[in-house]
Structure formats: C-alpha cells, structure tokens
Amino acid sequence: MVLDNKINNVFNKLGNIEMTKQDIIEQLKNIKDQWANDSKGEINADVIIDALTDIIHDTEGNDGMDFTEVYDDSHYENFENVDFTALEIN
C-alpha cells in the first residue's frame, strides 16, 4: 500500500484496537495530507478506499472478515478430486 507506514502500523495489529475520536481524526488528516502531497500520482481512489476501510475496521474492532459462511459437501469435493499426478515441481 502506498500510504505511509505510520498508518499501516495501526491497521496491522491483531485484536481490538481502540481508537479515540482524535486518533480517527489524525488518521483521516494523514490520508488527506498524503493524497495532497502525492506528486507521483500513486494514491488513487482504490488506495484511499482501502485506508478508509482499515479505519472503519479498526473503529469497529474487527478486520472485516466474515466467517459465517457455511460450506457444504460439494465445496470440499473439489479438493478431493484434484489430480496431482501431472504436477511438476521445479
């Protein structure tokens, strides 16, 4: 991700991250400043959306993962029917 490592370090921690209102404001200002000072054009809408999504997940105390999907037997059959005899190892 192009955004400053200072921002990324906040988002790479595991568990609940409690962010104060001031922390959130500082993170948003940092994103805005980086975009405004991006002379190489590396920060586009996708990068900004990723950073904002990280802030949302941090304030919610989760990483945005949803483990509620239930897999049926047909899902696992795909793994059992893989033919590894033609696999080439370099």
Q: Secondary structure of 11-74 in the HEC alphabet? A: HCCCCCCCCCHHHHHHHHHHHHHHHHCCCCCCCCHHHHHHHHHHHHHHHHCCCCCCCCCCCCHH
- Look at residue 86 and tell me if it is in a domain: no
The parent domain of residue 43 ranges over: 5-65
- Look at residue 50 and tell me if it is in a domain: yes
Q: Decide if pLDDT at 35 tops 70.
A: yes
- Look at residue 35 and tell me if it is in a domain: yes
Q: How many domains, in total, are found in the chain?
A: 1
- Look at residue 59 and tell me if it is in a domain: yes
Q: Decide if pLDDT at 12 tops 90.
A: no
- Look at residue 41 and tell me if it is in a domain: yes
- Look at residue 77 and tell me if it is in a domain: no
- pLDDT for position 33: 94
- Look at residue 88 and tell me if it is in a domain: no
- pLDDT for position 48: 93
- Look at residue 34 and tell me if it is in a domain: yes
- pLDDT for position 55: 86
pTM score, two decimals? 0.51
pLDDT tens-place string over residues 36-78: 999 999 999 999 999 998 888 878 766 666 667 777 777 777 7
